[in-house]
Structure 1
Amino acid sequence: MQPLDADAVALHREEVIRLAIDRERRGIEQRAAAQGTTLPDKMDPVSAAITYGVVIGTWHSPELYELALRQKLWHVVEHVTFFGAALVYWWPLLSASRVVPQLRPGPQMLYLLGSTIVMTPIFAFITFSHDVLYATYEFAPRLFPKFSPTDDQLLAGTGMQLVGVIVSMTTLGIIFFQWFRAGERKPAEPRHHSRGDAVAAESRKQETRK
């Protein structure tokens, strides 16, 4: 196959994919309209952050966390919901979908800051609790004899918060620099000269001729 033929095939393939995506979107919109619902143009960032926070916080309540530790089925359910909540959380940032696309860079950065604030009370609850929240870990064998269950819980809460902040702020920094560089690459808009500018320019030309 010649290079031009390969390019033509690639362009044709891209066009077929685009048409398939557009057809799928129209089908989804038609089904949503038939059911009396509207398809959102984007994932609502407030709902995404709250959903993620509620799922993580609920499963870290002592009763449910102990249930997941003691029963394999609930452990699987816990991690499936963790995965679903993470998918919802990252959708406004990484979505490649044309149906429900990602947010613009500015709202993405605000979203990351807001979601970090939403998660803070959950980690603070674990970190600063004076009681051992999870009985399984209270009676688990200690790797370090002088490391008490409350110390272990303090370290766990601090680690979760620290890792979350590092990931969020790193992502925010990447988004900011990509946004900044994209702005630098944009060509400058042509300046629209007023009539006064034209008169001043003509006067300068006449003065240089004298």
Structure 2
Amino acid sequence: MKTLAERAALTLLLTGCPLARAHVLSDAERSAPSFGWSFEAWVIALMAVSALAYVAGYIRLQRRGGRLGRAARARRLWLAAFVAGWATLVIALMSPLDTLSGALFSAHMVQHESMMLIAAPLCVLGRPLGVWIWALPRAARLQVARAVRTPAVAHAWRTLTAPLTAWLLHAAALWAWHAPTLFEAALAHPFIHTLQHASFLVSALLFWWTVFGDGARRQSGGHAMLSLFTTMVHTSALGALITLSPGLWYPSYVETCSALGVDPLQDQQLGGLIMWVPGAAAYLAGGLVVAARWLARGDRSPLFTRRAASVKDAAQ
């Protein structure tokens, strides 16, 4: 029986093992699994297109807006955030972590948390929609602009990115996909597994867009802090349920854990702890960033300035 510390060390060690192709392990691979980089054509294509479009749009924006001043510095921050988020997605979806997550629940949880708590907010901070559109020719940009301004599209987008809608979609994805039946189905069927990852990433992008993206500008900081706090609470509850459960939720990991000399229940407990503690810390950190931004915005607001001036006059 390995301790949780030994289990965590084994997870890190196995990420350096030889190449394997599939995330969902076959029966033969479950008896003697190996782990390495995963090269799925559609994942590589999407990642390449997103990166090339961002670079093209960024270069055009730099030429149009100049390379000096506050706007240029903001664009450089966008680029850094997008590159970091994009690299995190590469690690989550293509590195040995992807193949390892088919054998260990704890590795699967690291993969999911990396997508939702690191890659998603960084990509949102990179403002990809506004940069990607500049990669298009001028005529295409105008057509896209006209399309997104139509009442139907604009209404659908406002509804989808409303704070409550984004919060509900993110919460539903988290709780539904960690139900044993759906999680086991994702382990057994590659298409369902792809749907699981897509729903995690898309719902996380919408959620963080209401916190850090352009959607946050339509609201005060209060809704963002409330979204982060309540999400921290319900994800911590889910992590605690997985960690403290006396039985196995996901029997598919029994065989692979045994092949690796890992206790399946301890593997499940470590996975639950990853959601519970680091996950909660990520939402807390996001809340602190929002609070700092809210206070800084208040310092620059005319009302705040007038009140500060009146207090100063009264003191004098």
Aligned match for 1:75, one of 181, 185, 193: 193
**2:98 alignment counterpart:** none
Residue 160 of structure 1 deviates from its aligned partner by: 1.0
Counterpart residue type for residue 69 of structure 1: L
How large is the Cα RMSD of the aligned pairs? 3.6
Higher RCO (C-alpha under 8 Å, 6+ residues apart)? 2
- Whole-angstrom CA distance in 2 between matches of 1:127 and 1:69: 20
| 1:53-92 alignment runs, 5 A limit | 53-92=171-210
Length-normalised TM-score, structure 1? 0.66
Aligned match for 1:173, one of 277, 283, 288: 288
**1:202 alignment counterpart:** none
Aligned residue-pair number: 173
Pick the structure with greater CA Rg: 1
Counterpart residue type for residue 116 of structure 1: M
Counterpart residue type for residue 240 of structure 2: A
**1:153 alignment counterpart:** 268
Residue 114 of structure 1 deviates from its aligned partner by: 1.5
Alignment partner of 1:134 is 2:250: yes
Aligned match for 1:118, one of 221, 226, 234: 234
Residue 80 of structure 1 deviates from its aligned partner by: 1.1
Tell me which protein shows more helix as a share of its residues: 2
**2:278 alignment counterpart:** 163
Residue 25 of structure 1 deviates from its aligned partner by: 6.8
Counterpart residue type for residue 149 of structure 1: P
Residue 132 of structure 1 deviates from its aligned partner by: 0.7
Residue 156 of structure 1 deviates from its aligned partner by: 0.9
Counterpart residue type for residue 247 of structure 2: D
- Whole-angstrom CA distance in 2 between matches of 1:10 and 1:63: 52
1:29–1:38 contact (8 Å) kept in structure 2: no
Identify the range of structure 1 (20-29 vs 57-66) with the bigger mean alpha-carbon deviation.
20-29
Residue 165 of structure 1 deviates from its aligned partner by: 0.9
Distance change (3 Å), C-alpha of 1:109 and 1:131: same
Length-normalised TM-score, structure 2? 0.46
Residue 173 of structure 1 deviates from its aligned partner by: 0.9
Alignment partner of 1:134: what SS? coil
2:173–2:199 contact (8 Å) kept in structure 1: yes
Deviation track 1:84-134 (CA, whole Å, cap 9, x = no partner) reads: 11112112012236xx85532122111111122232332233122111111
1:93–1:102 contact (8 Å) kept in structure 2: no
- Whole-angstrom CA distance in 2 between matches of 1:69 and 1:52: 21
1:41–1:101 contact (8 Å) kept in structure 2: no
Alignment identity in percent? 23
